[in-house]
Chains A and B, each alone.
Chain A
């Protein structure tokens, strides 16, 4: 028996990004009224000046649909063109059903494949890799990828070591095949990995627990292990780090971001610092940072951008993309 296989395509690219952040801005001074901290300490240690926090009735699915709708509109495609939806989240309201199917229906799609993916804060890069591979293998033509998170519902708001870090939001990308008109492949090979021996370093241990992390261990790990991953992702894509127009690491902590950027050595790249006004939005942080940078004209169409994500698991992933 000879099985027929899907007909693939040479490359996948990002057609458009879209982002959504809740309206409510929470400043450091507001937090300092309820926990023992200061604006100066939070800016210096974490790099956050303010963050957006979702309302009590605003769900991960709501934010994912809002961001996904914007990316879809910007891509020029119609809802019916999307045949797969992947939502990366580690803070969903429900363990089942998945968020992705709800998002697809809310956006008026015609029953695409849909699943959620949990790789902690690195989920967007994992979802982007899965989408790229699905398009290249020919199992999907257009994929909506969303990183959507509401960490605020898993945080102990009396714990100054964690409530100062996070923000809510969602970022999305539409992935499709490379056409003859496109100058570059668009999404480079992913370099990914994990270390389950550090599973307890970043965790929400059960459904009744708050988020907890060993900040020192995570800092130490992130600033010693990740820069070779970023370099490998560049190498896999055949791009010299010196050619990068932008470096968009997961927005975990400004000091971690600066340390990794220095070690990869990206002299010409603009380094994302969206954490300052959004906090750590977990797997939404990379697409949200890209939306902001593209909106400000800092990343031009066709520019090479290195994405590098890391978080609970511990899981990490990085790839070079071409900006839409």
Chain B
């Protein structure tokens, strides 16, 4: 499965909307999860689990801590898909 950058952004947005109730169109690449979207560390784990379920990309907890922006998650998903 190959997704475009925009498709990955949309998919991450859908996950954030489902888990945190934040409208997907507000989940733009430059947003910071903690500061802008007010998603804490446990919320991030929920997003990681959903990414594994929906996109087939496992994000280890120790790497999750470094993914501060929506763009960082999108890049991680894209790179994982490329290397898979």
Residues of A within 8 A of B (CB): 45, 215-217, 219-220, 223-224, 255, 259, 263
Contact = CB atoms under 8 A, between A and B. Distances in A.
Contacts of A259: 49
16 contacts: A45-B42, A216-B44, A216-B45, A216-B61, A216-B64, A217-B61, A219-B45, A219-B46, A219-B49, A220-B48, A220-B49, A223-B49, A224-B52, A255-B46, A259-B49, A263-B53
A202 B83 CA distance: 33
B25 to A, nearest CB: 23
B28 interface: no
Interface string B47-74: 0110011000000010010000000000
Nearest to B40: A45
In the A-B complex, list the 3 residue pairs whose CB atoms are closest, starting with the nearest. A216-B45, A223-B49, A219-B45
A217 B42 CA distance: 10
A224 B41 CA distance: 17
A263 B50 CA distance: 11
A216 B49 contact: no
B47 to A, nearest CB: 11
A215 B42 contact: yes
Contacts of B61: 216-217, 220
Contacts of B45: 216, 219-220
Contacts of A224: 49, 52
Interface centre among A45, A215, A216, A255 (most CB of B within 10 A): A216
Contacts of B41: 216
